[in-house]
């Protein structure tokens, strides 16, 4: 099953069955309970992590203790290919948002694979280039957009249709975490949401928001394979 799962990842999709089996044999499967720390910022990165099930968040904390969420990652997401590639430390912290299963590949196994198959290194560089573009967009958004614009953009990016209804499922992201992700205060976000509900732009549902025709959904980005 691990071989089939690895084959679905862009990083390993080109590998032969034999090489996939070598990687699968070196994988450690780890269960993390909700709110359990997976790794901390500045901890030495010694393994590549892949989300097999569940949700995790990548975040940085300010000196004042405020948390800013950089990514929410789900199944198939690859974590920490940058520090693993350069042999450095984790640039942010990671915590399980739900009971989650992660697959861990030791750094030495990955480096050995890169030496025999340069295409793996090229795939890792492609992932890093993608992350750089996404960070550029995120910095621009945090710098230039209002909190309302950032929230509406979040809705548009993550909207999808279910039985003819356009909605955004919040998964395991609570209101405080959403505010941290958008770089605003929870109270401010609540005011924005309440005003949008009052104006019939969105409606709250059990695990997210229903979106009215006043907003035009874009392609979902929630389940992108993101990494640190």
pLDDT tens digits, one per residue of 62-89: 777 778 888 888 999 989 877 777 778 8
Task: List the Cα angle 49/151/63 in 5-degree steps.
Answer: 60
Number of domains in the chain: 2
Residue 222 falls within a domain, yes or no?
Answer: no
> Is residue 195 over pLDDT 80?
yes
Q: Is residue 224 in a domain?
A: no
| Eight-class DSSP state of 159 | -
Is the pLDDT at 141 greater than 70? The verdict is: no
Q: Do residues 72 and 225 make contact, with C-beta atoms less than 8 angstroms apart? A: no
Across the chain, mean pLDDT equals 82
This prediction has a pTM of 0.67
Domain assignment present for 8: yes
- Model confidence over 144-161: pLDDT tens digits? 578 888 888 888 888 888
102 lies in the same domain as 19: yes
The answer to the question of residue 86 being in a domain is: yes
CATH number at residue 50: 2.60.120.10
CATH number at residue 178: 1.10.10.10
Nearest to 49 by CA among 35, 28, 68, 34: 28
Which ranges of 31-158 would DSSP assign to H, the alpha helix? Answer: 81-86, 107-116, 118-144, 147-158
Look up the domain containing 193 and give its range. 143-211
Q: Say whether both 22 and 118 belong to one domain.
A: yes
Q: Which residues of 19-32 are buried (b: 16+ CB within 10 A; e: fewer)?
A: bbebbbeebeeeeb
Is residue 219 assigned to a domain? no
Mean pLDDT of 207-219: 70
Contacts for 88 with CB less than 8 Å, ≥ 6 apart: 45, 82
pLDDT digits (tens, 9 = 90+) for 9-43: 888 888 888 888 888 888 999 999 999 999 999 99
């Amino acid at each position: 099953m691990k071989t089939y799962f690895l084959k679905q990842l862009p990083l390993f999709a080109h590998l032969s069955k034999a090489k996939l089996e070598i990687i699968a044999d070196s994988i450690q499967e780890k269960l993390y309970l909700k709110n359990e720390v997976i790794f901390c910022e500045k901890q030495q990165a010694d393994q590549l992590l892949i989300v097999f099930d569940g949700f995790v968040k990548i975040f940085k904390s300010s000196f004042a203790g405020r948390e800013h969420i950089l990514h929410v990652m789900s199944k198939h997401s690859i974590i920490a290919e940058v520090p693993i590639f350069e042999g450095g430390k984790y640039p942010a912290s990671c915590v399980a948002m739900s009971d989650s299963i992660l697959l861990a590949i030791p750094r030495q196994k990955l480096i050995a694979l890169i030496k025999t198959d340069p295409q793996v290194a090229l795939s890792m560089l492609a992932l890093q280039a993608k992350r750089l573009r996404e960070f550029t967009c995120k910095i621009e958004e945090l710098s230039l957009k209002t909190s309302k614009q950032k929230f509406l953009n979040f809705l548009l990016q993550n909207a999808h249709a279910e039985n003819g209804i356009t909605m955004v499922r919040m998964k395991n992201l609570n209101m405080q975490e959403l505010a941290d992700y958008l770089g605003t205060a929870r109270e401010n976000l609540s005011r924005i949401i309440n005003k949008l509900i009052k104006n019939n732009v969105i409606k709250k549902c059990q695990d997210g928001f229903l979106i009215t025709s006043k907003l035009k959904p874009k392609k979902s980005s929630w389940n992108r394979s993101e990494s640190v």
